[in-house]
Amino acid sequence: MMTASLNEYVIISSLLFVIGFFGVLLRRNTLVVFMCLELMLIASTLALVAFSRFNATMDGNIFVFFILTVAAAEVAVGLAIIVALFRKRQTVQIDQLDSLKN
């Protein structure tokens, strides 16, 4: 069986991270932006597990649980804000949410 090397894991997680990063900056729908934020967290998680496996230390594996918990809390608060905003404005498109101006 072929096993992936550490480099491959690091490259994949970096790619995921970059995709998420540019997704946050470029996508126009708030929900998609939110998914991209989650993608960035997942990229970090993948890299942590890979490093933890190849370095033979446990810290990374434990860190993953904390990240999952934090991501869940972030989603709970974030979706609440998005729903409340949608009720007020009837839109979640980023380019229409520009009423905060000098």
Query: Which parts of this chain interact with other proteins (CB under 8 A)?
Result: 10, 13, 17, 20-21, 24, 30, 33-34, 37, 40-41, 43-44, 47-48, 50-51, 55-57, 59-60, 62-63, 66-67, 70, 73-74, 77-78, 81-82, 84-85, 88-89, 97, 99-100, 102
| Number of other CB atoms surrounding residue 97 within 10 Å | 12
Range 37-73 burial, b when 16+ CB lie within 10 A, else e: bebbbbbbbbbbbbbbeeeeeeebeebeeeeeeebee
CB of 12 to other proteins, least distance (A): 13
Residue nearer to other proteins on the CB measure, 4 or 62: 62
